[in-house]
């Protein structure tokens, strides 16, 4: 089986009655930072929703930590993953701190003070300790995403899915976020599956990436970013990676 945390075999992705990507196969190794790339509307969020068990795949098999999503495995798999949605999806009725504390409250036996301390540490990691008592409506889009990342990390999941973490962030925060991802990967061997458009970020953090295309309805490239930039047989893929000049690793 290899040490793969996410495996897709001949997966058709989409919604009932609307196949968007056909015959997608790739695997994400443990401890890897894996990027999902492609133009807007090509199906990156769709394929991520399959990976996090929200929508069943239309065909093929998808395994997370060796298990397929199903009623029996759901509870176990949910404990292994953390998710940051494209919109943040913070709970609007709770403060930022309460949002981060919620998974701790529901799934750990930590005392209230310990939960609070841990949640504050997580918020400090994303540099938002001072926004702890704000409501989600009172903070900016980029801040929401960072709170959502803190929430996704709360239970120290094995694999974290991030849907466009750096969209809407300034370059400095965005780069700090990249550093955070690398640090967590180093310290906890957390795996990251990241949807992103930022070339700089791809070259900085991604070990490998998969690229999708809407017109061709499938995956068009798979490999390390630098390798795809220099040696992809596909001119479109090479052009995508060269867009940002030569800011390689």
Partner 1 sequence: MGLVYSTGRRAASFAASFRDTCAFLGEAFGAMAGVAPRPRSFRFRDFALAFQRAAYEGLAITSGIGLLLGIILAFESAAALRTFGAEVYVSDLLTISLFRELGPLVTAIVLAGRSGSAFAAEIGVMKVDEELDALTTMGLPPVRFLVPPRVFAAVLAMPILTVCAELAGLAGGAGVLQIMGVPVPVFWAHVKGTSDLFMVGFGLFKSCIFGFLVGMIGCGAGLSTKQAADGVGVAATSAVVAGIVAIAVADGLLAVVCHVWGV
Ligand X SMILES: Nc1ncnc2c1ncn2[C@@H]1O[C@H](COP(=O)(O)OP(=O)(O)OP(=O)(O)O)[C@@H](O)[C@H]1O
Binding site for partner 1 (CB under 8 A): 49, 52-54, 74-75, 78-79, 81, 83, 85-87, 89-93, 102-103, 106-107
Binding of ligand X at residue 20 (CB under 6 A)? yes
Q: Which is nearer to partner 1, 58 or 147 (CB)?
A: 147
Cα 240 to Cα 20, 30, 48, 103, 248: the distances in Å are 21, 27, 21, 38, 13
As a whole number of angstroms, the distance between CA 93 and CA 209 comes to 36
Provide, rounded to whole angstroms, the least separation between the CB of residue 98 and ligand X: 28
Q: Contact between 15 and ligand X (CB under 6 A)?
A: yes
Nearest C-alpha neighbor of 162 from the set 109, 205, 105, 99: 205
Q: How far is the CB of 77 from partner 1 (least distance, A)?
A: 8
Quote the least distance from Cβ 196 to partner 1, whole Å: 19
Task: Tell me, rounded to whole angstroms, the distance of Cα 130 from its chain centroid.
Answer: 25
**CA dist., res. 13 & res. 195, Å (int):** 16
Q: Does residue 86 contact residue 163 with C-beta atoms inside 8 Å?
A: yes
Binding to Mg ion, residues 74-93 (CB under 5 A):
86
Among 25, 86, 173, 175, binds ligand X (CB under 6 A): 86
Q: Which residues bind ligand X (CB under 6 A)?
A: 15, 18, 20, 38, 40-46, 86
């Amino acid at each position: 089986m290899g040490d793969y945390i996410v495996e897709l075999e001949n997966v058709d992705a989409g919604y009932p009655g609307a196949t968007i990507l056909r015959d997608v196969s790739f695997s994400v190794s443990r401890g890897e930072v894996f990027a999902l790339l492609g133009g807007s509307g090509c199906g990156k969020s769709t394929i991520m929703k399959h990976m996090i068990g929200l929508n069943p795949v239309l065909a093929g098999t998808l395994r997370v930590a060796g298990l397929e999503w199903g009623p029996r495995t759901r509870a176990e798999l949910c404990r292994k993953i953390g998710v940051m949605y494209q919109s943040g999806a913070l709970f609007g009725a709770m403060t930022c701190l309460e949002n981060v504390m919620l998974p701790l409250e529901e799934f750990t036996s930590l005392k209230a003070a310990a939960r609070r301390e841990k949640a504050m540490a997580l918020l400090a990691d994303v540099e938002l300790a001072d926004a702890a008592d704000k409501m989600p409506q009172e903070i900016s889009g980029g801040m929401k995403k960072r709170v959502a990342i803190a929430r996704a990390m709360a239970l120290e999941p094995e694999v974290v899915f991030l849907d466009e973490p750096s969209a809407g962030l300034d370059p400095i925060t965005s780069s700090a976020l990249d550093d955070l991802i690398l640090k967590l990967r180093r310290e906890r061997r957390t795996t990251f599956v990241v949807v992103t458009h930022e070339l700089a970020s791809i070259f900085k953090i991604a070990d490998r990436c998969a690229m999708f295309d809407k017109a061709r309805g499938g995956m068009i490239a798979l490999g390390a970013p630098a390798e795809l930039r220099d040696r992809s047989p596909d001119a479109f893929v090479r052009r995508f990676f060269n867009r940002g000049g030569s800011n390689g690793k």
